[in-house]
A and B are shown apart, each in its own frame.
Chain A
Amino acid sequence: MSETNAWKLSFSASLRAAVGEFQLIHIFDQPELFEVPCTPLHCHQVLVWQEDVLPVMDIDAWVNPYQQTAKEPFAGIVAFQQSADMPVQYGCIKLIAPPQRIRVSDSSACEIPEENSFWLELSLASFRDADGQVLMVLNLPKLFSGDLASIPPDVGSL
């Protein structure tokens, strides 16, 4: 049985997911974000990082577009590739708490619960953490591909 490290990310009090250990590369506490007009509600800000302008993804706003949430104090920079031969890209995700390092084993893999079907579009796999909570493994290339604007989340299923 193999085990690996991962990061548990919290997007709201009830909305969490995981990314691989080496996909999360930097955390900001109360970063300065800049508004970009004429953009979707779930991705309307950018963060300046290392001479680059990164999109800031608000997963809670995508899942709950009609609920105004408090300003998230944290932001995590993630790295991903659209495919193996493509350059590494970076994006930023809003968080409500610092990421939590977790261990994931093969035996913890599970099906994506039907009530969380909106995650199907955004996740590569799912597993149960030590608390028994089902966590999705975020599909970062998909998250930052631009597809999200055309995928309505199943808000009623939450």
Chain B
Amino acid sequence: MTRQADTLHGDSVVQGYQYIRVSFDGLNMLLLDNHSHPVEPARALSVDARTRYSVGRMATDKGNLVAYCLNSRLQLLNEMPLSRRVSIILPVNDDLIAIMCERAERIEFGTIPKLSPVPECMRNGYTPVSHLSIHDGKADIVVHSPDLVDHIHRLITDDAGDTAVRQTG
């Protein structure tokens, strides 16, 4: 996938993207993609279907989607905190998954935030975080939604044990 942000250096304002700001576990994340992704209430979650890596399956009009929950370190949980009341639906190949969040809001194009690269001194090998941004005086991490999906896939395939958190929190 070609991403406009990859061609930019230094501070940048990325045009042509859809922005969704999601919050969970004290983390604010600006998800960007060149496609719009649905935000849905976190209802009808079947926790019986949870696995080592997922918190269950969520019934939507698009099917019974595997639901994932991340903590502030972007590690997978297998128990969903009660505060996760909304989900964002992301594509994975020909399938869809749900990421459970506390809040999710679309940011309109009139308020495209300035994006700054992650400082060199904060880089430590692989990270799905591409930029940092400021929203209402607070720092957001910026993640391309395909990179978030790749990150979850990476956690699951890299596991087993180190990256998956067995308990909520």
State the A residues within 8 Å of B (CB).
Answer: 32, 34-40, 43-44, 46-48, 51-55, 57, 91, 143-146, 148-149
Contact = CB atoms under 8 A, between A and B. Distances in A.
A39 B139 contact: no
Interface residues of B, number: 26
Given A48-B134, A144-B121, A149-B123, A38 B129 contact: yes
A48 B138 contact: yes
Contacts of A48: 134, 137-139
A34 B121 contact: no
B133 A40 contact: no
Contacts of B27: 35, 37
Given A37-B27, A46-B139, A91-B119, 11 more contacts: A32-B138, A36-B118, A37-B74, A37-B129, A37-B141, A39-B118, A39-B127, A48-B138, A53-B132, A144-B121, A148-B121
Contact of B119 (A32, A38, A51, A55): A55
Contacts of A34: 28, 138-139
B124 A53 contact: no
B101 to A, nearest CB: 15
Contact of A39 (B26, B28, B124): B124
A69 B37 CA distance: 41
Contacts, number: 77
Contacts of B121: 43, 55, 57, 91, 143-146, 148-149
Nearest to A44: B122
B132 A149 contact: no
Given A35-B26, A35-B72, A38-B129, A43 B122 contact: yes
Given A35-B27, A48-B137, A40 B116 contact: no
Interface of B: 26-28, 72-74, 114, 116, 118-124, 126-129, 132-134, 137-139, 141
A54 B120 CA distance: 11
B159 to A, nearest CB: 16
A36 B129 contact: yes
A3 to B, nearest CB: 32
A8 B16 CA distance: 48
14 contacts: A36-B118, A36-B132, A37-B72, A37-B73, A39-B122, A40-B124, A43-B119, A46-B132, A51-B114, A51-B134, A53-B116, A91-B121, A146-B121, A149-B123
Nearest to A46: B139
B129 to A, nearest CB: 6
B122 A40 contact: yes
B125 to A, nearest CB: 8
Given A35-B26, A37-B27, A53-B132, A144 B74 contact: no
